[in-house]
Each structure stands twice: as structure tokens, then as C-alpha cells.
Amino acid sequence: MDSQGGITVQRALELPGLRGGLPEVVAGADRLHRTVRWVHAGEVPNIASLLKGGELLLTTGLGLGTRPAEQRAFVRRLADRGIAALVVELGPRFARLPATIVETARTAGLPLVQLHREVPFVAVTEEIHTEIVNGHYALLRQAEEVHRQCTEALLGGGGVPQVLRILSDFAANPVFLETADGQLLYAAGTESAPADPLQVWDGLRGQRAARESGPPTGTVLVDVPGGGPGTSSVRARLVLLAVSGALSPVHRMAAERAAGLLAVVLMQARQEEELAARGRGDFLTDLAEGRITAEAAPAQARVLGFKPGDGPLLPVVMRLASELSPSGNWALLARAVLEELSSVGVPVLLGVRPVEGRVPLLLGLRSESERTAVADRVAAALRAGVERAGLERAGVHPPIVVVGVAGGWAAASAGLRHAAETATAAQGLSDLPWYDARRLDIDLLLWRLHYHGDTVLPAFVDRAIGPLRDHDRTSRPPLLPTLETYLAHAGRKAETARELHLNRQTLYNRLARISELLGTDLDDPQTVLALSLALRARRHTP
């Protein structure tokens, strides 16, 4: 049985059917290791067009033609098609193969065999096909044995590393499990292999970078499915690398069966991980909404693995844009964020709230003075986790990170609730690494007005700046940006002109036009306050 899932030409010649024909190899004797995928018999001149490659062709030579040019073309077409060998039975058509046919086969590297005795082609075909089918069955049994060993390892409490080791021992080559984007998750090598699998992986990564393509030729790559029934998503990939020896179809078969097991293991791990993250999210939400008292919270937090010490607690909430909310990827997001947060150096309790698209956290500080520095590091870690989870998209507003007020457990309860609401109210603000919840109270107030009364806030915005919005829809230059910049600089005209790249007179003209359209005095404090609120409330109205 050949490792490629067929038999070799040499083995076919040794079987009783062809051996009874007294076979003589007249060309390509050094290529008898070729794999015979199937057997075909035929006598038509254009038989090459009926073949796919890998066949052993039986013929009496009637289709070979009588002229040397026809014979050369016949043999070349077969060689180009990639057949395994040409077997010609001598008899009425040829007493011996012409030198033209032999030389063409030798030049083309095509094994050519002549049979000196007549054989029943049907019997030869049946015999070789039986051998090929039996060989395929033997390969399947080998792959199933690997599957059985992997299943037993998992049922015995083993995990992904044990499955990879079994597969690596079977293939006698290193095996890797990588994420869909090529990040290494696990590696396994054989005891007899001299190379460290991690060093091999570094070399593979270098080759990929140099080639700007996939793994090198000869590598077996098998997708590990994910995402549940009826989906085509890829959770991970198995990579078998030909280092110590060649890889064959039986290794792919075994890898495909192992991939099915790994999909179940990874799905279960993700479900458990997501359930744990949701459980922490539920605890933090219950704490925020007062269902857990400040007295009971520390003991429950310790059960969840959060031991902050005696310093203040810092509440943080990240809210994803609705377009970014990960469908079924919350475990991946939680894992990526936690790994990024490991470098922050403070105790962290992180949960997820998929329905609201939120990631609430509590962090244990040593002192209040750490708040800003820790907030910087946490915000960077949260953004990096979102990127690693593959949730960043062009044209979509990045996640909002809101940092609350540090304090004890009672303050943490109110701080989480305040940060969660503020993160929702802050959607659409100009992008900052993180927002101090205390500085967004006006935005929170406006959001609450919109949330609790559908018509109150839009009516206010329309009264305050409606004429400007109408102007900007039909006329140029737009005036709302000028008003926003003017108010942001507290009415300082020189700074406003510089930021807008306008000369003073142009700015004066625009401000006069704004006053005219609104019928207000831009120097009046109450007017300025109303306009500032309307501009900020505009995000919450159509």
C-alpha cells in the first residue's frame, strides 16, 4: 500500500494479474514508485482526454497509430496528462514496441511496460482496484485509530496539548494549533524529533513573512470549525509541518478527524469561559444596581477571584458601538482583554454584558493617586483587546471607555452604575482614550432627557439651533462648525479664527450671520449656555 492512498506501479506489476503477462519495463524503470490511483483500459487515439492523471493505462496498442509522429504524440499526451504508467500487451498489433514509442516514453519520464503474454484486462482491473480500495480502507483504519486515541485522551481528562501530541507522534512531525489569523495557540513535537517545535514555528512564521503567503509546500493545513451548527466560520487551524519526513493523505485524514474533536473542545472551553465572564458581568451589574450590598460584595468578589486589598476600587466600563457588538465572540474578547490587562499590574475583575454591549470592570488601586496612570493603562489594554478580538472596523466609532470615581465598595456600586450610563450617553463623542465620568455629567443629563422623553430634547434642539441646521443643509459655508468652535473657545474670537483658518473679518461676518439667523445675542451668557447644550444634545436627536 502506498502512503498516498493508492498502490505503486511496482506493486501493480507484482500482482498475479500483470505478473502472469510476463511484464517487461522498457522505459521509466526509475519511476515505478509512482502511485496508481485507478486503472483504465482503452484503444482509442484520443484516450488521454478521458483520463485525469494517476491512472495505469492498459492497451493492446490499437490507438497508438501507425506512423512515428502519431505514436510520439500519443505517448506525449499521456505523459502530459500525468498517468502513472502505460502497459501495452504485445500481440497482433505489436510483436515488440517500436523504438519511437520507447524513446518518447523514456524522454517524457513515463513508465512503459510491455506484456509478453495475453492477460484478461478485466481481471487485472478488478485485482488492482481491490488492492487500492483495501489500501484506502487501511488508511481509514489508521486515521480512525488516531481518532480513538484522541477521544480516549479527552475523555480521560486530557486537553488540546494531548491531542496534538498524539497527532504529532502519528505524523512523526511537529503539529501546531493556530488562530484563524495565524497566532500560535499550542505546539507539539515528537520525542524523537531533535527540533524544538517553538523554534520550528518561529522559522515557519519567518517563511510566511518572507513569502507573504501560507505555509510551505508539503504542509497539511486543516480548519477547525467554529461558531456552531450551520456556520462556516473557522475557529482555529491545525498545521502539520513536514520537518522530519513527508506528510501523506493519511496524515490529513487523521488531522481532519482530530479537528472535529478540537472544535468540540474549543467550543466547550469558549462556552465555559463565556459563562464565567457573563457571571462576573452579572455580579458587577447586580452590584451597580443595588441587588448586592456593599457589605456582601467583598465575599462574593473573592469567590470570583478578585482580591483587591485595602486600597480604593476603580470602576471602569467599556461600551462597544452597536456595529461592534461581537455575536458569539464574547469569550474571545474577554480573554484578549484579560491578557492585555495582565501587564497593568493591579487586581482586575472583568465581566461581559452582551445584551448591553458592555464590559464592566473593577480594579484594585493602592491609592487614589494611581487613578489616572491606571486608567491610561487600562484604556490602552481594553482597546488592544478589542483589536486582538478582531472587532475594529473602518468607519465604525471605536469603543467608549469611561472611568468612574475611586472609592470603597459602596462608591464602586454607584460608580459602576454612573460609568455604565455615561458610556451610553458618550456614544458619538470625539474619540479619546478614556473619559472621566465626572466630566460628562451634562451629556448624561441630556441623554436621560432624550431617553425618558422622546419629544422634549428634539424640540429644545430645534428651537435653539434649528435655523442653523436648515441653513447648513442648503447653503455654504456651513455655520454650525463655526458656532461650535466659537463656543469651545469661550467666545475668544482670535483663537476661533486661528483654529478655523479664517481672517478676523470673515469670522465676524459669520458670527453676525449666526446671530441674525438665530435672532440671539452671542454675548449673552444664557444664550451661550443654551446653544452649548443644544450642540451637545444634537447627538441624541435625529
Residues 6+ apart with CB under 8 A from 516: none
pLDDT digits (tens, 9 = 90+) for 15-60: 999 999 999 999 999 999 998 888 999 999 999 988 988 899 999 9
Mean pLDDT of 55-68: 91
**pLDDT at residue 21, as a whole number:** 93
Does pLDDT of 89 surpass 90? yes
Rank 131-135, 364-368, 465-469 by mean pLDDT and report only the highest. 364-368
Neighbours of 15 (CB within 10 A): 15
Q: What is the DSSP letter of 216?
A: P
Portions of the chain given CATH number 3.30.70: 293-452
Residues 6+ apart with CB under 8 A from 462: none
Does pLDDT of 309 surpass 60? yes
Mean pLDDT of 192-201: 62
**Fold that domain 456-540 belongs to in CATH:** Arc Repressor Mutant, subunit A (1.10.10)
Per the listing, cell 462576573 goes with 280
Rounded Cα gap, residues 340 and 333, in angstroms: 11
Euclidean distance between the first and the last CA atom of the chain, given in angstroms as a whole number: 72
Q: Is 195 helix (H, G, I), strand (E, B) or coil?
A: coil
pLDDT digits (tens, 9 = 90+) for 273-286: 777 788 888 899 99
* Residue 9 banded pLDDT, cuts 50, 70, 90: very high
- Return phi, psi of residue 24, to 5°: -130, 120
Mean pLDDT of 398-424: 90
Half-sphere exposure for 293 (CA within 13 Å, toward CB) = 2
Rounded Cα gap, residues 42 and 87, in angstroms: 11
Residue pair 126/95 in contact (Cβ under 8 Å)? The answer is no
Write out the DSSP string of 262-312. HHHHHHHHHHHHHHHHHHHHHHHHHHHTTSS-TTTHHHHHHHTT----SS-
Does pLDDT of 399 surpass 50? yes
Cα-based distances in Å from 328 to 235, 333, 517: 12, 10, 50
Portions of the chain given CATH number 3.40.1390.20: 7-131
Return the H-helix or E-strand segment holding 374. Answer: helix 371-388
**In this structure, what C-alpha cell is assigned to residue 293?**
450590598
- Count, residues in the chain: 542
462 or 88: which leads in pLDDT = 88
Residues 6+ apart with CB under 8 A from 142: 170, 250, 253, 254
Amino acid present at 422: T
CA geometry: angle 353, 357, 361, nearest 5 deg? 55
**pLDDT at residue 228, as a whole number:** 47
80 or 320: which leads in pLDDT = 80
362 or 246: which leads in pLDDT = 362
Residues 6+ apart with CB under 8 A from 82: 53, 54
Mean pLDDT of 134-155: 84
Question: What's the farthest any 2 CA atoms get from each other in the chain?
Answer: 115
6 or 245: which leads in pLDDT = 245
124-154 burial: b if 16+ Cβ within 10 Å, else e: bbebbeebbeebbeebeeebeebbebbbebb
440 or 194: which leads in pLDDT = 440
Secondary-structure breakdown of the chain: helix, strand, coil percentages, each rounded to the nearest 5: 50, 15, 35
**pLDDT at residue 106, as a whole number:** 94
Does pLDDT of 305 surpass 50? yes
Q: Which segments of 406-500 are extended strands (E)?
A: 435-436
**pLDDT at residue 324, as a whole number:** 60
Q: Does domain 7-131 have CATH number 3.40.1390.20?
A: yes
Per the listing, cell 478488478 goes with 126
Amino acid present at 325: S
Q: Which segments of 13-129 are extended strands (E)?
A: 23-27, 35-36, 38-41, 55-59, 85-89, 112-115
**pLDDT at residue 230, as a whole number:** 41
Per the listing, cell 465626572 goes with 438
Does pLDDT of 171 surpass 80? yes
**Fold that domain 293-452 belongs to in CATH:** Alpha-Beta Plaits (3.30.70)
**In this structure, what C-alpha cell is assigned to residue 97?**
514496441
Rank 83-92, 395-404, 427-436 by mean pLDDT and report only the highest. 83-92
**pLDDT at residue 102, as a whole number:** 94
Portions of the chain given CATH number 3.30.450.40: 159-267
**pLDDT at residue 191, as a whole number:** 66
Residue pair 171/240 in contact (Cβ under 8 Å)? The answer is yes
Rounded Cα gap, residues 410 and 242, in angstroms: 59
**How confident is the prediction for the chain on average, in pLDDT?**
83
Residue pair 171/37 in contact (Cβ under 8 Å)? The answer is no
**pLDDT at residue 213, as a whole number:** 52
Does pLDDT of 325 surpass 80? no
Write out the DSSP string of 140-164. HHHHHHHHHHHHHHHHTT--HHHHH
Does pLDDT of 255 surpass 80? yes
138 or 352: which leads in pLDDT = 352
Q: What is the DSSP letter of 408?
A: S
**pLDDT at residue 7, as a whole number:** 84
Mean pLDDT of 463-479: 87
- Residue 55's DSSP bridge partners are 38
Residue pair 446/541 in contact (Cβ under 8 Å)? The answer is no
**pLDDT at residue 77, as a whole number:** 94
Rg over alpha carbons for the chain, rounded to the nearest Å, is 37
CATH number of 159-267: 3.30.450.40
